[in-house]
């Protein structure tokens, strides 16, 4: 091809999309592309996290002989230090672990239960008719630390003290606050002032730290050191537990020593569906990953990626937005904690159900009131992922729910207690009704997928954004033939509400596309080019046929995919 023709070719939209979408494995001779970052490619391990410090902490552990689980714990502990509003030991955790040698997936549900005394009746007596969004009655038992212990005991090669060492050191000595984190911190200033201990800890000099300023948290270093020395019992039975319980009592909460001491996370079997030639895995309820799988099943009834259904086209976006509404309506009606009640998981995952539900999609009109189907009955988060040199993989997500969770900090512990209980409902007929020792419906979902010799761990955080973002990411791979970095970077939509025709879209979708969607009845709120509203993701992929690992990190966060240095 002559130079002039080459330049004209690379200027076309089709060429730009092709250059961004070179599927793994493989390369492109691109001189221009719409993908901003390259994938990280290595024969050794890769850690992808929302902070370079967290990713580097995980990579260091890999270099020192740890495996993917050790690296995930190290990275997660560091994320709790450097992004304290989003996650930490006061929150919950879910993980999918891939054991390469056994070719087997394991799911860990480390989401906590409500205190035994926290019931609908208790809140009604206090004059509450809806679950509060913050405060002591939204605090469920934090599951993250027990999750670390379970992961380390079953898979880890390093002591928990080694996995936590970098986070302890960073909390003690401090770190410069990054751009996204400074923005989140500033937006939470008034919220933090609602709790004296929280304000004292997180508003040094009576204000949030700014980008580049050093923040130190020796109290969190102490808590992490307690866990490093004494394991999960330090948190659930030891001095940390005592300080949590004193705080709960002072605020009028119902949590008892038994609520903490008797808590245990549990190993579960991931659920899955097929989408085109990929098999996609999510955590079972009480997680909401089932909505991503049902959404994919519905989308599979339409020719995404083919003529008139290309990436960013009105037809493709309309189909995905409408599929989201249907899948979320079903999830909201039928999903909660599976213990003690029968949930129609297999029915919701069936291809027959999806084909039936897909018929609700009118190609010309947005549906503003999607009802749940009739079945016979029988936001603030961190995501990280790791692949090690042997191909073991971890897909891990951990969260405080809202920024700084409940807004309550137990004195001298250095972390906020989450508000995950806000996701319960006081509607006694719902599978997600509040009850003592019950886990709320959970928005945080780690993902995993495989095709042939490829294995991929991925996730995109952001409250109710997550399932719909997972489905868009998988479609980018399967339908639009993107690599994992391009699939994370491409513009996304999000609809956080369950009713109405509102939808948020990044402004990188064309004006023509937005106009056509508006003509169908979609009420579009325009976001910036790389908006936190659509979440930030990470992904790692291994090609077992070639023994090569790939990593990707979303520019909607401060993070990076960092490779382990080659073995000397």
Q: Where are the alpha helices (DSSP H) in 271-385?
A: 289-299, 314-334, 345-349, 351-358
Tally of CA atoms within 13 A in the half-sphere of 501 that contains its CB: 13
447 Cβ neighbours under 8 A, 6+ residues apart: 96, 280, 281, 282, 289, 292, 395, 457, 458, 459, 470, 473
Q: Are 39 and 552 in contact (CB under 8 A)?
A: yes
Which residues share a beta bridge with 493? 505
Burial 458-480 (b: 16+ CB within 10 A, else e): bbbbbbbbbbbbbbbbbbbbbbb
Catalytic annotation present for 425: no
As a whole number of angstroms, the distance between CA 411 and CA 469 comes to 37
- Dihedral pair phi/psi, residue 137, rounded to 5°: -80, 0
Q: What are the DSSP calls for 423-487, one per residue?
A: G-BS-TTSTTB--TT-PPPB----EEEEETTEEEEEEE-SGGGHHHHHHHHHHHHHTT---HHHH
Tally of CA atoms within 13 A in the half-sphere of 460 that contains its CB: 31
Which residues share a beta bridge with 537? 460
Cis amide prior to 42 (ω within 30 degrees): no
How long is the chain?
A: 568
Pairing of strands 493-494, 502-506: antiparallel
CA end-to-end span of the chain: 44
Catalytic residue among 247, 381, 385, 413: 381
Tally of CA atoms within 13 A in the half-sphere of 345 that contains its CB: 21
Residues belonging to the active site: 381
């Amino acid at each position: 091809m002559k130079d002039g023709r080459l330049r004209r070719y690379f200027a076309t939209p089709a060429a730009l999309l092709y250059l961004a979408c070179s599927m793994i494995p493989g390369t492109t001779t691109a001189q221009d592309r719409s993908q901003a970052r390259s994938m990280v490619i290595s024969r050794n391990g890769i850690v992808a996290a929302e902070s370079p410090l967290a990713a580097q902490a995980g990579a260091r552990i890999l270099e020192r002989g740890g495996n993917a689980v050790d690296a995930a714990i190290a990275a997660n502990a560091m994320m709790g230090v450097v992004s304290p509003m989003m996650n930490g030991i006061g929150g919950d955790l879910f993980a999918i672990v891939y054991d390469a040698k056994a070719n087997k997936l394991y799911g860990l549900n480390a989401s906590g239960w409500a205190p035994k005394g926290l019931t609908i009746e208790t809140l009604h007596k206090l004059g509450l008719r809806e679950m509060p969004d913050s405060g002591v009655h939204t605090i469920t038992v934090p599951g993250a630390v027990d999750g670390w212990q379970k992961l380390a005991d079953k898979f880890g090669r390093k002591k928990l003290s080694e996995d936590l060492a970098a986070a302890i050191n960073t909390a003690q000595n401090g770190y410069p606050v990054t751009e996204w984190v400074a923005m989140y911190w500033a937006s939470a200033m008034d919220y933090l002032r609602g709790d004296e201990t929280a304000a004292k800890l997180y508003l040094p000099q009576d204000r949030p730290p700014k980008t580049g300023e050093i923040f130190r948290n020796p109290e969190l270093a102490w808590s992490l050191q307690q866990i490093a020395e004494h394991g999960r019992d330090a948190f659930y039975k030891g001095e940390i537990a005592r300080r949590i319980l004193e705080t709960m009592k002072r605020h009028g909460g119902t949590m008892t020593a038994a609520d903490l001491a008797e808590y245990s996370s549990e190993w579960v079997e991931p659920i899955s569906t097929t989408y085109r030639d990929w098999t996609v895995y999510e955590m079972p309820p009480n997680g909401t990953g089932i909505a991503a799988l049902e959404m994919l099943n519905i989308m599979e009834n339409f020719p995404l990626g083919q003529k008139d259904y290309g990436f960013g086209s009105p037809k493709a976006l309309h189909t995905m937005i409408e599929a989201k509404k249907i899948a979320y309506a079903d999830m909201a009606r039928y999903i909660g904690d599976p213990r003690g009640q029968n949930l129609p998981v297999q029915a919701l995952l069936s291809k027959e159900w999806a084909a039936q539900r897909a018929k609700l999609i009118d190609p010309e009109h947005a549906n503003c009131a999607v009802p749940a189907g009739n079945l016979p009955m029988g936001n603030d988060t961190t995501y990280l992922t790791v692949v090690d040199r042997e191909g073991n993989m971890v897909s891990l997500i951990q969260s405080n729910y809202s920024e700084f969770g409940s807004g309550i900090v137990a004195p001298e512990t250095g972390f906020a207690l989450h508000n995950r209980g806000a996701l319960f409902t006081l509607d006694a007929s719902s599978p997600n009704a509040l009850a003592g020792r019950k886990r709320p419906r959970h928005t945080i979902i780690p993902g995993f997928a495989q095709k042939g010799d490829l294995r991929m761990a991925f996730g995109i955080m952001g409250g109710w954004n997550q399932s719909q973002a997972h489905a868009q990411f998988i479609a980018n791979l399967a339908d639009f033939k993107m690599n994992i970095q391009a699939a994370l970077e491409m513009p996304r939509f999000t609809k956080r509400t369950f009713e109405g025709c509102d939808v948020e879209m990044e402004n990188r979708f064309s004006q023509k596309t937005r106009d056509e969607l508006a003509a169908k009845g979609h009420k579009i709120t325009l976001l910036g080019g790389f908006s936190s509203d659509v979440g930030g993701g990470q992904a790692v992929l291994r090609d077992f046929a070639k023994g090569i690992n790939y990593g990707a990190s979303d520019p909607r966060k401060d993070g990076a995919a960092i490779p382990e240095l080659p073995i000397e």
